Amino acid sequence: MQFRYLGDSGFKISEITYGNWLTHGSQVENEQAQACVRAALDVGISTFDTADVYANTQAETVLGEALKGERRESLEILTKVFGPTGPKGHNDVGLSRKHIMESINGSLTRLQTDYLDLYQCHRYDYETPLEETMQAFADLVRVGKVLYIGVSEWTAEQLRDGHALAQQLGFQLIANQPQYSMLWRVIEGVIVPTCIELGISQVVFSPLAQGVLTGKYRPGEQPPAGSRATDEKGGANMIKRWMSNDVLERVQQLVPLAEEAGLSMAQLAVAWALQNDNVASAIIGASRPEQVHDNAAASGVKLDADLLIKIDDVLDPVVERDPARTSRSSPKTREA
């Protein structure tokens, strides 16, 4: 396992982060979830990402149990705040000081730790003054509950404003967590150049495009039984944007390219995301330990320039690059 610095800091995380969105506490039984976390530790993954909103707090609980007994200093534990949790009352969502201060205590309890390595704004809150949000984070850093601050799916302007306030308040905003894959490249045009300028790294999610880039979904065929595309609890809705025959046909054209490089399709996809120097880590999810072992082998892989060109030639017509897609990720009201 290789490690990279996160932003302009001395803090390192593993190139592969284990995440439990859409799995722990909902899709995967706890025993299997713990086996996946154990597999992640076995292959050298030290960074674990979750969020309080995942499975309405249950994902944090499962991860906390799975990591219990591990040396805390050898781990990097990341979680997020924004989404509605608990009974989803009027203050159970957003980035108000009240919600942040109450959420951090819940997350620390569920994760069975005294502090978080990185606490992230899960989305941008249009209904709370940014100054209020950043002051709350500054206070958490000062009392030692949080070491570093990050965000997820913020626009370039929002990143600039947040970074400036963080500097004024004396803490570091060092990470952004966007969606990024061979098929979804909306951060490349504006977000990445802005983050390079500001000293912010990307910790990217869905490098496999919800599993489509593994090649297991074939054009004109029903999705495999038990796959994410058949999961009506959330997975099927998330993956449907990639399930057109045009996309699936082009993904199948990547199979010989992966074979030529001596990689599985999953390894090719994860390694591709890590070729971007502004990407500190790629988040993988898993429902079986063998998936963790396969994905983790992408760490340290260097793809040659000719292969990257061939990938672009195959996928170019179906790649999403519109930078405006980032601004659509955050709800304009908390009720959305």
- Active-site amino acid positions: 54
Helix H, strand E, coil C: the string for 287-334 is CCHHHHHHHHCCCCCCCCHHHHHHHHHHHHHHCECCHHHHHHCCCCCC
95, 82 Cβ separation under 8 angstroms: yes
CA–CA dist 157, 178 (Å, integer): 15
Mode of pairing for the β-strands spanning 3-5 and 12-14: antiparallel
DSSP string, 248-295: HHHHHTTHHHHHHHT--HHHHHHHHHHTSTTEEEEEE--SSHHHHHHH
Helix H, strand E, coil C: the string for 54-82 is HHHHHHHHHHHHHHCCCCHHHCEEEEEEC
CA–CA dist 91, 97 (Å, integer): 10
Show Cβ contacts of residue 142 under 8 Å, excluding neighbours closer than 6 positions.
171
How far does CA 147 lie from the centroid of its chain?
19
302, 274 Cβ separation under 8 angstroms: no
Q: For 330, phi and psi rounded to 5 degrees?
A: -95, 130
Q: For 110, phi and psi rounded to 5 degrees?
A: -65, -35
Name the DSSP class of 211. Answer: G
Give the residue from 6, 102, 117, 101 showing the smallest Cα distance to 67: 117
